[in-house]
């Protein structure tokens, strides 16, 4: 009898140790992935949320809503750290940020509620195709020495609400259209709330290709915008019950470390053509969104 109890006791202890070790390995793996995703997101100005959400769902069995809420939480410390670096380097365009941010905040709240109340799979599929197409465009068009001064967006960018922006410390100048910038802010904010991705994966290429903002200024401004966008997203998803702080806290630390690592890599690598890396990131983002759609479809069924 005592031997049976002893045997059962050892079995329970060994099962507990195996469970604990498995959980520890999972936590370490998730932490390492978070660091790598954040570092890459910092390099290309996306933040990394668009890559993190499918990873959490596929490999770590996070519910979709909790994965989105966790990604929003992880983006906050990373965006704060990169914004401090960018502020010191004078790479942030605060006028562009002020035009985009109010509408992005509105869109983030709207997107969070869309996730909870209406099916958006068809819209997400079209959006994924658009993101992938933009990635291909970024990869192909970076070889052009001069942008062609034609097309609808070029003409819209010169409507009456257009103005010239100058970054004197960097000796850069570019033309912006306030109405168009604000409209894109609303669109990217809505996508941020729906996918838990911060919107940077769309803001950065738009700034570079539509408004001809220098890549480093566009990347830094996009990461700065993530500060408010992620705060708004966290608030919305917390209200909806999609934030699990136990799961989010390690990711927040991992993304903070990854942001520092990404900034160091950016300074040492001296990327002359970040458009290529952004294009690759967009293709990966498109694949991530498609995966997200497939998983949501499977869960809905």
Q: How many beta carbons lie within 10 A of that of residue 144, not counting itself?
A: 8
Separation between Cα atoms, residue 58 and residue 54, nearest integer Å: 6
pLDDT digits (tens, 9 = 90+) for 20-78: 546 788 888 999 999 999 998 888 877 787 788 878 877 888 887 888 889 889 999 99
DSSP-derived 3-state class of residue 166: strand
pLDDT digits (tens, 9 = 90+) for 2-16: 454 444 554 455 454
DSSP-derived 3-state class of residue 191: helix
- pTM of structure: 0.72
Separation between Cα atoms, residue 228 and residue 79, nearest integer Å: 9
The contacts found for 175-184 with CB under 8 angstroms, 24 or more apart, are 175/211, 175/212, 176/95, 176/96, 176/99, 176/211, 177/211, 178/99, 180/153, 180/156, 180/210, 181/96, 181/99, 181/100, 181/211, 182/99, 182/100, 182/102, 182/103, 183/103, 184/100, 184/210
Q: How many beta carbons lie within 10 A of that of residue 196, not counting itself?
A: 34
Domain locations in the chain as residue ranges: 2-300
Q: What is the mean pLDDT of residues 179-187?
A: 85
Q: How many beta carbons lie within 10 A of that of residue 125, not counting itself?
A: 15
């Amino acid at each position: 009898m005592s031997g049976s109890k002893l045997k059962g006791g050892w079995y329970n202890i060994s099962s507990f140790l195996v469970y604990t070790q498995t959980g520890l390995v999972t936590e370490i793996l998730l932490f390492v992935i978070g660091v790598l995703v954040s570092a890459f997101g910092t390099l290309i100005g996306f933040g990394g949320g668009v890559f993190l959400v499918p990873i959490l769902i596929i490999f770590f069995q996070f519910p979709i809503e909790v994965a989105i809420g966790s990604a929003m939480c992880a983006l906050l410390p990373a965006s704060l750290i990169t914004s401090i670096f960018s502020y010191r380097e004078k790479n942030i365009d605060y006028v562009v940020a002020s035009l985009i941010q109010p509408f992005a905040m509105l869109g983030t709240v709207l997107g969070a509620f869309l996730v909870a109340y209406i099916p958006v799979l068809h819209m997400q599929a079209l959006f994924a195709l658009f993101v992938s197409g933009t990635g291909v465009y970024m990869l192909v068009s970076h070889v052009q020495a001069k942008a062609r001064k034609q097309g609808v967006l070029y003409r819209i960018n010169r409507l009456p609400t257009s103005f010239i922006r100058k970054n004197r410390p960097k000796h850069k100048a570019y033309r912006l259209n306030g109405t168009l910038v604000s409209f894109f802010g609303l669109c990217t904010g809505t996508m941020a709330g729906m996918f838990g991705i911060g919107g940077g994966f769309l803001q950065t290429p738009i700034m570079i290709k539509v408004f001809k903002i220098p890549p480093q200024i566009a990347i830094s401004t996009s990461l700065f915008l993530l500060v408010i966008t992620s705060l708004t997203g966290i608030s919305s998803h917390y209200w909806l019950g999609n934030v699990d702080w136990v799961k989010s806290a390690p990711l927040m630390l991992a993304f903070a470390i990854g942001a520092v690592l990404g900034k160091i890599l950016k300074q040492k690598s001296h990327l002359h053509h970040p458009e290529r890396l952004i294009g690759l990131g967009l293709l990966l983002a498109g694949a991530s969104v498609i995966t997200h759609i497939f998983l949501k479809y499977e869960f809905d069924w």
